[in-house]
Structure 1
């Protein structure tokens, strides 16, 4: 199949704004922006999106000016998503909107904060950030007079629910209407993979920035990085170590993104799907890496878990974060009068656990630290 024919074939599987299944609350069309462009803009202008600037990715915001935050990670995911969608002739704006929304439900202090919040709310169904992201965009954002949430299109909300291959933490009533038996759109399938690319590559970058990881260590223990680094050394003989590392990170990102595009294109063409309905009813997801690169990514993830996420410096911060989250939830559930009045007012209708979970999950790192400091001793 020629490249031109391949792109034409792929374009048949593209989601189109004119075919959107619409919004929960009916709105007139905009004269200049498509429904997916409006979704993207609503997400960017939301309070939840702005708060991502002060939520931890791996290293807390206050530890340094150049570490990634949940916001910069989200922007990087959206940029890669647009690249992949463009290369596969898919809807770039839809992929971008899902990417920009995908972490809106993350609590403070990264995955340690999420884990502790899940534990603290275990008796009330626990906490999972994808579930909470859906709640943010459907209920918790308060920007509009005529409806709760952001009133996003079905396609973006479905992408929030289904972009990850693990959405069994959603309750049945939360999945109702999102057809869990069907595959997500290709634009949504992209997000899980580019999220993984972004955090694996950029956590390596931040680990070196923090002086926890060293380029020589990475070159010795990660084969995919070692090959790239050796090539950069050969090609840039006058460069210093930091420049060689930066070039290696750049090359690694390019290799992973290119593999995702090439492997996905081949998988889509072999499956011979020719429209969105066939994508949805296919037996498996069609976006993904080649087996060789997927194995390299798994090795990278394990390396980061052993050498970065479990290192003394990171673990010390995460233990502190877990204590703060546990104390906040316990204190607010024991004495809801500690909550702001507008949150107290919701308890009768929604229950104390849900209201406390919403309040704590919405905090930034620094707000959580200050709220913890203000708790009665």
Structure 2
């Protein structure tokens, strides 16, 4: 049953460009479908989550991560009586703006773009769904509903003003109320992101042999998960044992969020979706005790995985691709593909041109960026990354 505080598709604040609604799909379902069919969503298949995309078929990419986030988000939203289609739409779109090579790629692009307003993957996601996806006859972007755009822009909380230029630019024509919190659906998508990567980064770190099962079994929450598996299944195969423990860990996170949200919402008794936005705090969150335990687990992951020498070296090498390609395209915009040249011709100054170049590079997959670097600069980057992969 839909809760009173859920966003209702029949009461959407609409789309920037008015269009006839679908006969069989709600507006939020239609948003979700447009995101899934977008070019940017498909490219997530070959973009870094933690490990560079070509390092192994079993590691998560941005696409598989986004699918896992959407699955968690639907589960939590359904348990809370929220609109599952809106929640899923925000979850599937939350990483669309990531450039190649993960957070180090974003850091490199942000540094290069600093004279021109910087780069932020969240703002870039809004830019993609409102401008850069150019397939429809009557508008640029996907023409998503206000609620989905709001969720993409501020699922992590209110946006400090002045915001990134891309957000400010769109907000000037379609006010997303950046100063308030987002809907409960968007907040669920944000927590689902935390749950998904907290779980799968442990799994991927084990597969990469950056740490061992015994080390995980000493961490908060995980200690109890392993203990329960050992009690129920003594002598279980090594791989099944760790999978069972991580599965339980996953469940603990989901149940904590649902349990606390139910208690919080019962106390608040919000009459509608706007009451969530105006609450002045995140309504969907982890309990303080679990958040403290997760902080210790994330500290472990930071030191043993995200800053592991092999991971850092691979990231350092491949983000050199971005540092090389950006000035090359800025000085030689004729090297950009034909469909980008109209924008280049209309660029009023260097900042406008730099933003076009950043849009193009941010849309690249890991492998396309490496191959483009090799083609234009005659580098041995492909061989270098393969050599590093062999030493991981």
- The alignment's TM-score, normalised by the length of structure 1, stands at 0.94
Give the secondary structure class of the aligned counterpart of 1:230. Answer: helix
Q: How far off is 1:166 after superposition?
A: 6.6
Q: Deviations over 1:256-308 (max 9, x none)?
A: 00100111111112222121122222121211111001111111211111110
Structure 2 match to 1:4: none
For the 8 Å contact 1:332–1:356, the answer to whether it is kept is: yes
For the 8 Å contact 1:112–1:321, the answer to whether it is kept is: no
Structure 1 match to 2:193: 195
1:314 aligns with 2:314: no
Q: Deviations over 1:203-238 (max 9, x none)?
A: 010000111121101112x12112211221121113
Residues of 1 paired with 2:8 and 2:22: CA distance?
A: 16
2:301 aligned residue (296, 299, 304) = 304
Residues of 1 paired with 2:280 and 2:81: CA distance?
A: 22
Residues of 2 paired with 1:280 and 1:345: CA distance?
A: 40
Give the secondary structure class of the aligned counterpart of 1:103. Answer: coil
Q: Deviations over 1:92-148 (max 9, x none)?
A: 010001111111111111111111111111111111101000000000012211111
Give the secondary structure class of the aligned counterpart of 1:346. Answer: helix
**Aligned Cα root-mean-square deviation (Å):** 1.4
For the 8 Å contact 2:159–2:179, the answer to whether it is kept is: no
2:228 aligned residue (228, 231, 244) = 231
2:270 aligned residue (264, 270, 273) = 273
Unmatched 5+ stretches in structure 2: 379-392
Structure 2 match to 1:5: none
Number of aligned residue pairs: 368
Residues of 1 paired with 2:151 and 2:319: CA distance?
A: 29
Structure 1 match to 2:179: 181
Structure 2 match to 1:49: 41
Residues of 1 paired with 2:233 and 2:135: CA distance?
A: 51
Structure 1 match to 2:164: 170
Residues of 2 paired with 1:17 and 1:63: CA distance?
A: 42
Q: What does 1:1-377 align with in structure 2 at a 5 Å threshold?
A: 11-165=3-157, 167-168=159-160, 169-171=163-165, 172-176=168-172, 177-220=175-218, 222-350=219-347, 351-376=352-377
For the 8 Å contact 2:183–2:274, the answer to whether it is kept is: no
- The alignment's TM-score, normalised by the length of structure 2, stands at 0.91
Residues of 2 paired with 1:200 and 1:282: CA distance?
A: 27
Q: Deviations over 1:126-176 (max 9, x none)?
A: 111010000000000122111111111111011000112373353344444
For the 8 Å contact 1:165–1:192, the answer to whether it is kept is: no
Residues of 1 paired with 2:247 and 2:65: CA distance?
A: 16
Unmatched 5+ stretches in structure 1: 1-7
Q: 1:17 to 1:53 in 2, by over 3 A?
A: same
Structure 2 match to 1:3: none
